Structures are given as C-alpha cells and as structure tokens.
Amino acid sequence: MRGPRFHSKLTDDAARLNASIDFDQRLLPYDVEGSKAHARMLAAQGILTAADAEAIARGLDQVVEEWRAGKLVLDEQLEDVHMNVEVRLTEIVGEAGARLHTARSRNDQVATDLRLYARAQAAELSKTIATLQRALVAQARAHVDTLMPGYTHLQRAQPVRLGHHMMAYYEMLARDRGRLADAARRMNQSPLGSGALAATTFPIDREASARALGFDRPTANSLDAVGDRDFAVELVAACALEMAHLSRLGEELVLWASQEFGFVKLPEAYCSGSSIMPQKVNPDVPELVRAKVGRVIGDWTTLMVVIKGLPLAYNKDLQETQEPLYDAVETALLCTRTMAGLMAGATFDVPRMARAVGQGHLLATEVADWLAARNVPFRQAHAAAGALVRAASARNLELTDLSLAEMAAIAPDVTFDETLFAVLDPNRAVDRRDVIGGPAKTRVLAAIAQAESDLNAIP
C-alpha cells in the first residue's frame, strides 16, 4: 500500500510485480476470521464500540459469502486480498470498516492469515493421508496370506507377505502425519498484535485474540512474528518428505504394473492409453506422483532461499514465500487423495507373486540360518548356502530340487539332513520370522489391528 506519501503511481510492470491478489486470495476466509477476532478484541478493550465491532463482523461475513458465491470481483489495483476485503467491508458498513485496521499492520495481519491457512492445510493433509493409510491397511488385511518376493537392490531377496509390504508404507505415512502434527503445534502461535514490527501503543489483549482464533498463545517477539516464515518452511518440508514416500510407492506400482512384474492391475480410472498403440494401459497417475515430488522439493528450496539472508523484520521478499507454500500443500493434497483412490481399487495377481517367490533362491538364507542353528559358524553356513545356490543355478534348478546327497557333495564341510526341507517352504520361512516388526502372520495381523485402532481414533 502506497498512500498519500507518493506523488506518482507504480509503473504497470512494477504494479504487476508488487501485486499478490492472483495467489493470496486463498487467504480471504482466514483474513475474515482474523479480522473478526481483532474487531471483537478491540471492542472488549474499549478501543472500538460494540456496535462497530458487530457491524464489522456482519460485514465481513457478507464479504466471504460474496467471495464464495463468485460475486466479489477482486481488484488487482488494491494489490492484495487484505485491502480488497477492507475496501469491500467499508462499502458495506461504512465508517466502521475504516476503523478495523486500528492497532494492527498488514505485516501482522498477513502473518496471522498465513498461520491460519497453514494450520488448516496441515490438518486437511493429515486427514487425507489417513485416508490413504486406510486403503493400505485394507489391502494389507486382504493379503495377509499373499506371499511375494521382498527385494534389495531390486533383486529378489526373501519372501514376505504383501500385507507386510503394504504396512511398510502405512508406517512411513504415520511418521508423515506426525511431522505435520509437530509443524502445526509449533506454528500455533498468534502474530496478531505485533504490528508492523514493534507492536502497538493501543491497550490490546493479544491473549484474547489468540484464544479466539484457536492459537495456543501469542507470539513472544514482534520482530520474529512478522519477519519469519519458518512455519511455512517446516510444513513444506513435511510435504516434501510425504511426497517422497508417495513417489516410492508410485515407483513400485509402475514396476509392478509392467508385464515384466505383472504383480498389480491398476484401476482404469487412474490410467491412460496411447495415442498410437491400442493395447497400452499406462500408469500415468503413479508416474505423475513420482515426478511431482521434485516440484515440492523445489518449493521447499525456494522458501529457504527467500528467507536465508533477510534482515529483521518484514521485507517484501516474504511475499514470495506464499506461492511455494500454496503449491506444496495443494500438490501434496491432490497427490495423496489420488493415490488413496488408486490403492483402494488396485488388484494384485496372487498366483503370479507366488510363482515369483519360487524362483531366484529366495530361501537361501533359510539354509544358512538352519546351519547356524546347528552350531555352524554363520560365515561358514553362509558360504555353504552360497555354494548350493551356485550349483543349483548352474543347472537351472531351485534349492528344493537338490537332493541331500547332492547338497553333501556340494558343501562337504557341513552336514545336512531331512529336517532342512521343512524350512525350505516359503510360508514356514516367513512365519519363522516371528519377531516385532517381522513378516510372520501373527505379527502382520497385530500390526494391522493396531493400525485400524489408531485410524479409528482419528476424529
């Protein structure tokens, strides 16, 4: 805002560079919420009359209703959403609207609006992540008995349950929800009353306005309150890490949906075809999710670069923290909602996964463990199992195809007996891993039950 101090207008280019209305209109309902709390606090302190405060509140309600109905045309010449609200309010209620800005600055106003927005978006994203978690847990329960290869280095390693695999992503997302909760807790302080940088001479009640807006307390330092956006950085960092987890899930779905794996069929509503190849069913949604993490990481980087060298307190540079914040949370919300629907509708090829478990010597570790349990030093047991794998592979056989006599000839320094074949069963191999966090059926069922209980407790 320039005011009567200036004799000339901004050039058209400078005005476009300065304006934020294209993106900060997202803040309008939060601006109204903050302004109503501010007006009522001013009335309680005798700074405004009760009649003015109530007129302001009614007028602000009308402003937000007009905006939601698409009847309020925001004026770019007024630079930002805050001035658009104030101007329209004054048109509605007259002089009382012009009194609203008493004892506040646009600096503490926008800082408050942004915290209200960020807090609401953190809650919405957490709720949306929980929806995806529910889809993963439902798939886990449906596939407790489905075996699949577990991988390291994208090479078949050991058999696990598909349910156990699904629950791994549940745990990642649970930590993402925890990070969002942490960020929301730290941002939940009210800048309102901090003024431009040095608070105000009016006898305001910052505790009252903070309570009215659902904040835990007012911010402790006026310079910090208007001059930092670390709450936005922290929220976007949480979004970036959640997106990285979604990207990993998307990568696996792309691989698993390929003919080379053939483990999953994605719902058609989340796929596309080819402009030239009629047979194609392309996993566009997980591919896009896999790519969009780069966008959100870029948003985080932008925020860090904007704030890294700013002197206290407010600088116009801080306007450039808004678009990365909006883009990050809105991208994360869209991707999470979409992946929740995709996972709920995905179908898995159980026989194909079972066949994959039977190929590639996934039970070689069972041989080593069986020998180690019989007092063979593990390194010696590991070498013996490796020798069996090498010999079987040379003949295009699996370990279970070797006889005891052949095993003894291949690894003569250890002793094998018939009980070995009992552990060379994928289901038994998985269930023998009956430790906390393991893939045994009892452990997976317990993890699913705990997850269902935790999700049911979410308001």
| pLDDT value of position 5 | 62
| Pair (49, 140) in one structural domain | no
In a domain? residue 410: yes
| Pair (86, 116) in one structural domain | no
Domain boundary among 102, 136, 156: 102
CATH number of the domain residue 182 falls in: 1.20.200.10
| Pair (83, 141) in one structural domain | no
In a domain? residue 286: yes
Can you give the pLDDT of all 459 residues of the chain as single tens digits? 555 666 667 776 776 676 777 888 999 999 999 999 999 999 999 999 999 999 999 999 999 999 999 999 999 888 899 999 999 999 999 999 999 999 999 999 999 999 999 999 999 999 999 999 999 999 999 999 999 999 999 999 999 999 999 999 999 999 999 999 999 999 999 999 999 999 999 999 999 999 999 999 999 999 999 999 999 999 999 999 999 999 999 999 999 999 999 999 999 999 999 889 888 999 999 999 999 999 999 999 999 999 999 999 999 999 999 999 999 999 999 999 999 999 999 999 999 999 999 999 999 999 999 999 999 999 999 999 999 999 999 999 999 999 999 999 999 999 999 999 999 999 999 999 999 999 999 999 999 999 999 999 998
CB-CB neighbours of 97 under 10 Å? 24
| pLDDT value of position 18 | 66
| Pair (275, 178) in one structural domain | yes
| Pair (333, 368) in one structural domain | no
CATH number of the domain residue 50 falls in: 1.10.275.10
- Is residue 222 flagged as an active site residue? no
| Pair (79, 204) in one structural domain | no
In a domain? residue 430: no
- Is residue 164 flagged as an active site residue? no
Domain span including residue 68: 3-102
| Pair (328, 200) in one structural domain | yes
| pLDDT value of position 155 | 96
In a domain? residue 435: no
| pLDDT value of position 11 | 75
Q: How far apart are CA 119 and CA 99, in angstroms?
A: 28
- pTM exceeds 0.85: yes
In a domain? residue 235: yes
| Pair (174, 88) in one structural domain | no
In a domain? residue 80: yes
In a domain? residue 10: yes
Among 35, 105, 126, 153, the active-site one is 153
| Pair (57, 170) in one structural domain | no
| Pair (56, 118) in one structural domain | no
| Pair (54, 117) in one structural domain | no
CB-CB neighbours of 69 under 10 Å? 8
Residues 232/325, Cβ–Cβ less than 8 Å = yes
CATH number of the domain residue 386 falls in: 1.10.40.30
User: Mind listing the pLDDT tens digit for each residue in 419-442?
Assistant: 999 999 999 999 999 999 999 999
In a domain? residue 40: yes
**Token pair in block for residue 265:** 């069929």
User: Mind listing the pLDDT tens digit for each residue in 280-292?
Assistant: 999 999 999 999 9
Number of alpha carbons in the 13 Å side-chain half-sphere of residue 227: 16
| Pair (346, 410) in one structural domain | no
* Tally of domains in the chain: 3
**Token pair in block for residue 246:** 């979604």
